[in-house]
Amino acid sequence: MKPLLSTFPLLLVVSICCTLTRGQSPAPAPAPAGPTNVTAILEKAGQFGTFIRLLQNTKVADQINMQLNSSKQGVTLFAPTDSSFSDLKAGTLNSFTDEQKVELMQFHVLPSVFSTSQFQTASNPISTQAGGSQGSYPLNVTVSGNQVNITTGVTNATVAGTVYTDSQLAVYQVDHVLLPLSFFVTPSPAPSPSTHRKAPDSPSGSDADATPDSSGANVISTKMVACGILFLAAFA
């Protein structure tokens, strides 16, 4: 029994040390805050697969992420669901050029962050990132009670919910794809050039020089007649 009793304190000490070691294990470090990634936000929310693909293919997603992570300028993004794209007339997306697809995605981006309450005091039309500095692709946002409505001249959409929001980014789910009016309006034809044309200058630079001089021809004709008379008179 003595050997057993002599080892008991040692086992007790080892047990206490192990318990303390497990209780003092460090907590996992918080994940570092990475740069904002708008497609990751949409992927986490689900139901935005088509919109994500278009944002990536047109590089508009890169433009948004760069803007969010390199400046203090905010962004508002209207995100149509997959069912919204399914509601489009067949062949609509395929009818757009690559440039139009870029503009379509930029048309869903406002170059500043809007909360739902700020839409109540927004001045219409609101500029989008489509159309560059010319701002040729605006849209109108109105608020009726708690409902935010968006009109483009082609599409009437409603904000169906908030996907994500922070101090620099607001992502709202919309129930229709926002189509720019300019995609479906035929531009006015350019004015035809004037039919009146100035007569070309003569090579010598003077119209008077181009007029045939008949005086020389008359002198030659007179001389020939005189010679003929003298010739006849010589044989008379």
- HSE at residue 6, side-chain half, CA atoms within 13 A, is 3
Q: pLDDT at position 133, please?
A: 54
Per-residue model confidence as pLDDT tens digits over 13-47: 445 444 444 444 334 333 335 678 999 999 999 99
Residue 196 CA to residue 199 CA, distance in Å, equals 9
Q: pLDDT at position 11, please?
A: 47
Which domains, from first to last, does the chain contain?
38-183 (2.30.180.10)
Residue 173 CA to residue 84 CA, distance in Å, equals 10
3 phi and psi angles, rounded to 5 deg: -60, -40
- Per-residue b or e along 145-180, where b marks 16 or more CB atoms closer than 10 Å to that residue's CB: eeebebbbbebebebbeebbeeebbbbbbbbbbbbb
DSSP string spanning 110-136? ESS---TTGGGGPPSSBP-STTGGG--
Residue 149 CA to residue 207 CA, distance in Å, equals 70
Give yes or no for a contact between 141 and 126, defined as CB atoms under 8 angstroms apart: yes
Q: pLDDT at position 208, please?
A: 41
β-partners of residue 147 are 144
Q: pLDDT at position 68, please?
A: 92
Specify the higher pLDDT residue, 186 or 156.
156
Sorted by sequence, the CB contacts under 8 Å of residue 140 that are 6+ apart come out as 124, 125, 126, 150, 151, 152
Q: pLDDT at position 97, please?
A: 96
Residue 114 CA to residue 166 CA, distance in Å, equals 10
Residue among 118, 84, 121, 123 at smallest CA distance from 104: 84
What is each CA distance from 4 to 1, 12, 14, 30, in whole angstroms?
A: 5, 13, 16, 47
Q: pLDDT at position 92, please?
A: 95
Range 136-148 average pLDDT: 92
pLDDT level of residue 136 (50, 70, 90 thresholds): confident
Residue among 46, 99, 39 at smallest CA distance from 68: 39
